[in-house]
Amino acid sequence: MTIARSAAIIGGGIGGLTLANALIRSGLSVSLYERASHYTPTSGAALGLQPNGQIPLAYIGFKDSIQKLVHPFYHWQLIDEHGKVRSTSPRLGEYGQRFGYYVGGAIRAELVDMLKAPLEQNQCLHYSHKVIDLQQDAHGVTLSFENHHEQKPVRVDLVIGADGIHSTVVKKIFSATEPPIYSKENIFYGMIDNIDEQTSIGPIAAQKNTLTQCFSSGEFLCYRAGNQGQFMWAATYPSDTPPLTSSDAEWTHTNNQRELNRFLTLFPSTHPVHQCAAVTDQQRLLHFGLFYRKHRSDGWHRGRICLLGDACHATLPYAGQGANMAIEDAITLTSCLEKHQFQIEPALDEYYNKRFARTKRVVDISRYMGLFFHSQNSLLHVIRQSLYPKLMNSNAMIKIAEKELFENCPVPMEYKKIKT
Ligand SMILES: Cc1cc2nc3c(=O)[nH]c(=O)nc-3n(C[C@H](O)[C@H](O)[C@H](O)COP(=O)(O)OP(=O)(O)OC[C@H]3O[C@@H](n4cnc5c(N)ncnc54)[C@H](O)[C@@H]3O)c2cc1C
């Protein structure tokens, strides 16, 4: 019987950090290795943190902090290309009241800081540690680091690769791994601090507690994130090639003014994307290609090494679920290990069986949403402008949200609260 008493997590993104917290609470000896020196690559931006991400974080002890960190959405609105409101729905606020947790915007760096604090106390967080090799045998796994002169190899019972879409771990354990798939869509993603001082951004887009969307040659969306006046906007657009980045960077700061100008010509001059881009600091404007991974149907582990988050099910961002799924993975993996008294093989089998269908559905739905949002077909355009608002206002939406964001969230039922 192979029992895990020690575990190494590779990658200090939202998935790896959540897992480290959950495993420590279950009594395992944990070390987390992150290649960046202090700062995760995606932490300059925001994210939509949904009830199914917040409930598991509350479950492992972050209930008060998570509620302070999230800017809740009470309203959804669809605007047209001139920034005028076409449709609104109060349903987001209604879900929040029912779940006790609102869909909302959070600042990645604040979420990372919240998750890091207990790990720093535990002294299990190791930055500037890039894992380059893993070797497993009957008794354990040996990890080696890039800076091998100063960083000695580490030996543990169990390894979890939470190292993102360009995962090193996935390539080590599955020799035939296809590279991530480019969706032929790129995104400009901007963060604006002190939105209330930005008088050039119209009051419609900058409204508090509101998620705003607009469809033209792709999706434009914006919302407030966190509770100190930060505001994010993003717009996706079709492109034959992704922007150039170094081989292992997912995000890049915009250094291609020509591409930004070309992108802006896709929108009429009255579209809020122009006002947003004009006041976004160059350092706060990110540009990258959108990739996803084909779902693995041959398991997410080999022996003592398994995968979590984007390393096994990287998704496009349209459903806003990538980080939320990584958080769910972390809770499920921990509960499977606990249930099987830390026996590795049955716990990892059960983890995969529990997570496969749910994460595949999210990856597939996000891909279809991307195709739908970008389609130039005139019928789909009518559906986007008229049926989508009806759906956002419908009872069907409440039912879908209840199933996906609450019932299927992998936290024990008695812990979840819902008002009838
Ligand atoms: C434009 C965009 C918007 C998004 N918006 C949302 C949203 O609103 N809501 C949402 O839920 N999700 C969103 N996502 C998805 C979300 O960001 C990811 O799904 C999530 O960050 C995945 O977390 P992770 O921990 O699996 O991987 P990552 O966050 O990618 O973390 C991987 C970590 O591993 C480290 N690493 C990599 N290789 C090594 C190595 N060899 N050794 C040591 N460390 C290593 C990296 O430096 C990184 O810190 C969005 C994604 C994009 C692209």
Model confidence pLDDT, tens digit, residues 335-372: 999 999 999 999 999 999 999 999 999 999 999 999 99
11 CA closest ligand 1 atom index: 34
CATH number at residue 113: 3.50.50.60
Residue 270 domain-assigned (yes or no): no
The ligand 1 site (C-beta within 6 Å) comprises 10-16, 33-36, 40-42, 47-48, 130-131, 162-164, 168, 187, 189, 309-310, 317, 320-324, 326
Residue 231 domain-assigned (yes or no): no
Look at 259 and 184; give whichever has higher pLDDT: 184
Q: Which of 8-17, 156-165, 201-210, 249-258 has the lowest mean pLDDT?
A: 249-258
Cα pseudo-dihedral 166, 167, 173, 176, rounded to 10 = -10
Structure token pair of residue 340: 């099987």
222-242 average pLDDT score: 94
The dihedral built from the CA positions of residue 288, 360, 52 and 343, taken in this order, carries a sign that is negative
Residue 265 domain-assigned (yes or no): no
324 CA closest ligand 1 atom index: 11
Neighbour count for residue 161 (Cβ, 10 Å) = 29
411 pLDDT band, cuts 50/70/90, is very high
Residue 391 domain-assigned (yes or no): yes
Best residue for ligand 1 mutational test, from 55, 310, 313, 316 (most atoms within 8 Å of Cβ): 310
- Residue 18: which domain range? 6-179+293-415
Q: Is 80 exceeded by the pLDDT of residue 305? A: yes
**Runs of H (alpha helix) within 84-165:** 91-99, 108-122
203-229 average pLDDT score: 93
2 pLDDT band, cuts 50/70/90, is very high
Question: Do residues 303 and 353 make contact, with C-beta atoms less than 8 angstroms apart?
Answer: no
Residue 349 domain-assigned (yes or no): yes
The C-alpha atoms of residue 233 and residue 212 are separated, in whole angstroms, by 9
Cα(197) to ligand 1 centroid in Å equals: 31
Residue 235 domain-assigned (yes or no): no
**Runs of H (alpha helix) within 36-190:** 51-57, 63-69, 91-99, 108-122, 168-173
Q: How big is the CA angle at 211 (ends 202 and 329), to the nearest 5 degrees?
A: 145
325-330 average pLDDT score: 98
Nearest CA to ligand 1 atom 17: 323
Into how many domains does the chain fold? 1
Distances (CA, A) of 325 to 53, 313, 330, 331: 7, 9, 9, 10
Structure token pair of residue 402: 């209840």
Q: What is the pTM of this model?
A: 0.96
